[in-house]
């Protein structure tokens, strides 16, 4: 008994591992070229369909291509309507595995001849670098796939002597339903429709089952893939859920139509087999599989836009989820993951800049504490997501892009915290002491809007930097004048300290706006650093007596703040996000500390 079951189970396992390694190796080996091609050839639903079909046939994994397309949707690189066409194409492209098994795998004993590929692939994986390692993984996977198929084929003949598969129901609608359910359960157990179809083809080739039973099993395997899709949606983002639901609905509808039209599809397969001179065995079964998937394609493709809208209504976007496009499944594709995080940071920056602009234009307007709390959650999630993007040692551009995003997230966290301070210690921006600073901040926000909308140029960033430098210089001068009594006389020391604190707050807020825009732009150009603007400022000279007077008055940098520095001095190792405050423990202002 064990002499039969062990090779049977091992053959399925080798086939599954071979499929995974082959897919992983091919996707990594193709790298950015494959992803660029996917984006380029998904301009319309029909192009997306062709792209999905060809890509899945080449990489031999609908799961890998589907995860990639989920990342594209999350990152905003393609629309969901285009993704629907791609998903439909992956279902048709998935039939390529059956054609390979039927035409080559079962006709020729490739398992023996592909053994050297496993050894060569393992050596390339261990000794090679970069894409050579990925090629080694693909070669080893290719060899293991056919070795598993040969092992499965040999064990299937022995298994048929123990299990009477001929006892499965034959003929009639309910008989087809029973056999289909058997194929569905087999797919759920194996977690791979390709493995279930390969097992069915092997059973048909060894005459363990007949053609009608094999056809019902293939339909069950096609429907069984929807269960895996349901598991994917648990805890996933909206983009991932929508893509999975589209895949589920398509395969479910195609399977139901196939079981209803089962006799007609068998007749059509027989007719085509006779006219094209295809043998009615394994190749005929793959033709049957391709026919009913193709029928689903014909029914769905003219209505991809309507189908996409139906799924979007079924799973609406959550407005409160600012960083909802950060899907963990995209972490395996660093380029896509960093594009998704870039868009999340730009969205957060837009919300915070708009909040600050409202506060500047309408003094006394209450800051939306709920929005600040949502952005805090989104920033925490974005920072964690960016930190977990895996990169190889030779991916320098992506590494620089990730560092720039971490810097941008750090400044966004600090800027959000400054806005939070306004909810506990509001500043009366209507006062005459702040008008000049407000004008500079509003000008910077106007320029920053172009940065978050991807319209910023190097000149835009330089202008924002000059505004920040001017603001810093004027701030120092005004604080110096106030402390020396050259400015407007204040009624009390408390009012003087409040004014200097507010000026310092406006100055540092402007600095963070500049740095946020700088790093977002630097990240957007894929790691090519943006030239630093030359900031011309003339801070007033401070004598020892004046410095002592400022120290006595309590004028110092805000806790945790440093004077404006060049980004060249900011290293990736120094990036530590400020711990977000809670409503129970508001931040301490400079005046309160004094």
Domains of the chain: 1-314 (no CATH), 328-526 (1.20.58.220)
How many other CB atoms are there within 10 angstroms of residue 589's CB atom?
17
Distance of CA 340 to the CA centre of its chain: 6
3-state helix, strand, coil in the chain (%, to 5): 75, 0, 25
Q: In whole angstroms, give the CA distance from residue 8 to residue 1.
A: 11
* SS3 label, residue 31: helix
**Average pLDDT of every residue of the chain:** 75
Phi and psi based region of residue 577 (left: phi greater than 0; alpha: psi -120 to 50; beta: remaining) = beta
Q: In whole angstroms, give the CA distance from residue 134 to residue 137.
A: 5
How many other CB atoms are there within 10 angstroms of residue 458's CB atom?
12
Q: Is the pLDDT of residue 562 over 60?
A: no
Average pLDDT over residues 517-538: 59
The DSSP secondary structure of 174-190, one letter per residue, reads HHHHHHHHHHHHHHHHH
Average pLDDT over residues 432-443: 77
% of residues, the chain, pLDDT over 90: 9
User: Are residues 378 and 344 in contact, defined by beta-carbon separation less than 8 angstroms?
Assistant: yes
Helix pair angle (45-59, 62-75), 10° resolution: 140
Q: Is the pLDDT of residue 304 over 70?
A: yes
Average pLDDT over residues 216-234: 78
Query: What's the pLDDT score for residue 319?
Result: 62
| 504 pLDDT tier (thresholds 50, 70, 90) | confident
What is the token pair recorded at 535? 């900031």
Q: Is the pLDDT of residue 334 over 60?
A: yes
| 299 pLDDT tier (thresholds 50, 70, 90) | very high
Query: Is residue 62 exposed (0-12), middle (13-18) or buried (19+ Cβ within 10 Å)?
Result: buried
**Which of 120-129, 326-335, 584-593 shows the lowest per-residue confidence on average (mean pLDDT)?**
584-593
| 332 pLDDT tier (thresholds 50, 70, 90) | confident
Q: How far apart are the first and last CA of the chain?
A: 83
Q: In whole angstroms, give the CA distance from residue 450 to residue 513.
A: 12
Average pLDDT over residues 61-83: 73
% of residues, the chain, pLDDT over 70: 71
Number of H helices, E strands in the chain: 23, 0
How many other CB atoms are there within 10 angstroms of residue 318's CB atom?
10
Whole-angstrom Cα Rg for the chain? 32
Q: Is the pLDDT of residue 333 over 70?
A: yes
Q: How far are the Cα atoms of 14, 114, 156, 193, 263 from residue 7, in angstroms, in the given order?
A: 10, 18, 9, 20, 35
What is the token pair recorded at 71? 């990342």
Q: Is the pLDDT of residue 569 over 60?
A: no
What is the token pair recorded at 158? 């022995």
Convert 399-411 into a string of H (helix), E (strand) and C (coil): HHHHHHHHHHHHH
Query: What's the pLDDT score for residue 243?
Result: 83
Q: Is the pLDDT of residue 51 over 80?
A: yes
Query: What's the pLDDT score for residue 159?
Result: 60
Average pLDDT over residues 199-216: 84
Q: Is the pLDDT of residue 542 over 60?
A: no
Average pLDDT over residues 1-22: 77
Average pLDDT over residues 205-220: 86
Average pLDDT over residues 420-432: 75
Query: What's the pLDDT score for residue 297?
Result: 93
pLDDT tens-digit map of 375-422: 999 999 999 999 998 887 777 888 899 999 999 999 999 999 988 888
- The alpha carbon dihedral of 505, 509, 515, 516 has a sign of positive
Beta carbons within 8 Å of 304's beta carbon, 6+ residues apart: 45, 81, 84, 85, 88
Beta bridge partners, 582, equal 585
Query: What's the pLDDT score for residue 412?
Result: 94
Query: What's the pLDDT score for residue 173?
Result: 77
Q: In whole angstroms, give the CA distance from residue 457 to residue 145.
A: 51
Q: Which residue has the tokens 């929005």?
A: 371
Q: How far are the Cα atoms of 104, 176, 198, 363, 520 from residue 96, in angstroms, in the given order?
A: 12, 24, 11, 65, 42
Query: What's the pLDDT score for residue 78?
Result: 77
Average pLDDT over residues 289-312: 91
Helix (H) or strand (E) holding 23: helix 2-40
Q: In whole angstroms, give the CA distance from residue 10 to residue 7.
A: 5
Query: What's the pLDDT score for residue 386?
Result: 93
Query: What's the pLDDT score for residue 508?
Result: 87
Query: What's the pLDDT score for residue 273?
Result: 77
What is the token pair recorded at 283? 């190749």
Q: How far are the Cα atoms of 203, 220, 282 from residue 217, in angstroms, in the given order?
A: 11, 5, 13
| 589 pLDDT tier (thresholds 50, 70, 90) | very low
* SS3 label, residue 483: helix
Query: What's the pLDDT score for residue 425?
Result: 74
How many other CB atoms are there within 10 angstroms of residue 7's CB atom?
18
| 131 pLDDT tier (thresholds 50, 70, 90) | confident
| 30 pLDDT tier (thresholds 50, 70, 90) | low
How many other CB atoms are there within 10 angstroms of residue 91's CB atom?
26
What is the token pair recorded at 59? 């990489």
pLDDT tens-digit map of 271-295: 887 777 666 678 888 889 999 999 9
**Which of 159-163, 360-364, 391-395, 424-428 shows the lowest per-residue confidence on average (mean pLDDT)?**
159-163
**Which of 134-138, 147-151, 222-226, 554-558 shows the lowest per-residue confidence on average (mean pLDDT)?**
554-558
**Which of 40-49, 291-300, 533-542 shows the lowest per-residue confidence on average (mean pLDDT)?**
533-542
- The alpha carbon dihedral of 314, 319, 321, 327 has a sign of positive
Q: Is the pLDDT of residue 587 over 90?
A: no
């Amino acid at each position: 008994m064990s002499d039969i079951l062990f090779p049977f189970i091992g053959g399925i396992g080798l086939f599954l591992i071979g499929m995974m390694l082959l897919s992983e190796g091919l996707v990594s080996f193709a790298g950015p070229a494959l992803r660029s091609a996917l984006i380029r050839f998904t301009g319309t639903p029909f192009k997306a369909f062709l792209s999905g079909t060809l890509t899945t046939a080449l990489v031999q994994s609908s799961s890998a291509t589907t995860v990639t397309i989920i990342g594209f949707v999350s990152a905003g690189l393609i629309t969901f309507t285009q993704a629907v066409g791609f998903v439909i194409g992956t279902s048709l492209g998935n039939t390529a595995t059956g054609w390979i098994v039927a035409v080559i795998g079962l006709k020729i004993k490739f398992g023996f001849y592909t053994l050297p590929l496993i050894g060569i692939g393992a050596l390339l994986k261990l000794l090679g670098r970069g894409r050579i390692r990925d090629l080694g993984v693909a070669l080893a996977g290719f060899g293991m796939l056919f070795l598993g198929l040969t092992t499965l084929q040999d064990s299937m003949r022995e298994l048929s002597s123990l299990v009477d598969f001929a006892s499965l129901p034959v003929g009639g609608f309910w008989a087809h339903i029973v056999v289909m359910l058997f194929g569905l359960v087999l797919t759920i157990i194996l977690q791979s429709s390709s493995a279930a179809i390969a097992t069915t083809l092997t059973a048909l080739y060894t005459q363990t089952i007949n053609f009608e039973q094999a056809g019902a099993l293939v339909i069950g395997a096609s429907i069984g893939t929807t269960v895996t899709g349901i598991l994917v949606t648990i805890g996933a983002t909206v983009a991932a859920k929508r893509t999975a639901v589209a895949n589920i609905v398509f395969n479910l509808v195609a399977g139901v139509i196939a079981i209803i039209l089962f006799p007609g599809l068998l007749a059509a397969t027989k007719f085509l087999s006779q006219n094209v001179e295809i043998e009615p065995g394994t190749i005929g079964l793959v033709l049957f599989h391709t026919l009913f998937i193709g029928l689903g394609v014909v029914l769905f493709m003219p209505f991809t836009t309507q189908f996409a809208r139906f799924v979007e209504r079924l799973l609406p976007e959550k407005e409160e989820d600012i960083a909802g496009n950060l899907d963990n499944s995209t972490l395996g594709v660093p380029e896509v993951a960093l594009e998704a995080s870039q868009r999340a940071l730009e969205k957060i920056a837009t919300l915070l800049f708009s909040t600050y602009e409202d506060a500047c234009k309408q003094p006394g307007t209450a800051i939306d504490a709920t929005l600040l709390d949502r952005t805090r959650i989104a920033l925490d999630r974005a920072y964690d997501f960016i930190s977990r993007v895996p990169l190889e040692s030779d991916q320098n551009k992506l590494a620089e892009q990730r560092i720039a995003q971490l810097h941008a997230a750090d400044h966004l966290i600090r800027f959000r915290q400054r806005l939070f301070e306004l909810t506990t210690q509001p500043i009366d921006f209507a006062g005459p002491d702040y008008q000049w600073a407000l004008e500079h901040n509003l000008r910077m926000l106007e320029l920053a809007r172009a940065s978050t909308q991807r319209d910023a140029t190097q000149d835009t960033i330089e202008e924002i930097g000059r505004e920040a430098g001017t603001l810093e210089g004027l701030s120092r001068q005004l604080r110096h004048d106030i402390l020396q009594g050259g400015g407007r006389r204040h009624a009390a020391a408390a009012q003087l300290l409040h004014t200097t604190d507010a000026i310092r707050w406006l100055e540092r807020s402007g600095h963070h706006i500049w740095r946020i825009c700088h790093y977002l732009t630097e990240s957007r150009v894929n790691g090519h650093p943006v030239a630093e603007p030359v900031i011309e400022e003339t801070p007033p000279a401070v004598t020892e007596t004046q410095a002592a007077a400022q120290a006595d008055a309590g004028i110092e940098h805000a806790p945790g703040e440093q004077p404006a520095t060049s980004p060249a001095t900011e290293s990736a190792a120094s990036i530590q996000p400020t711990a977000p405050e809670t409503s129970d423990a508001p931040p301490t202002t400079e005046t309160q500390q004094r």
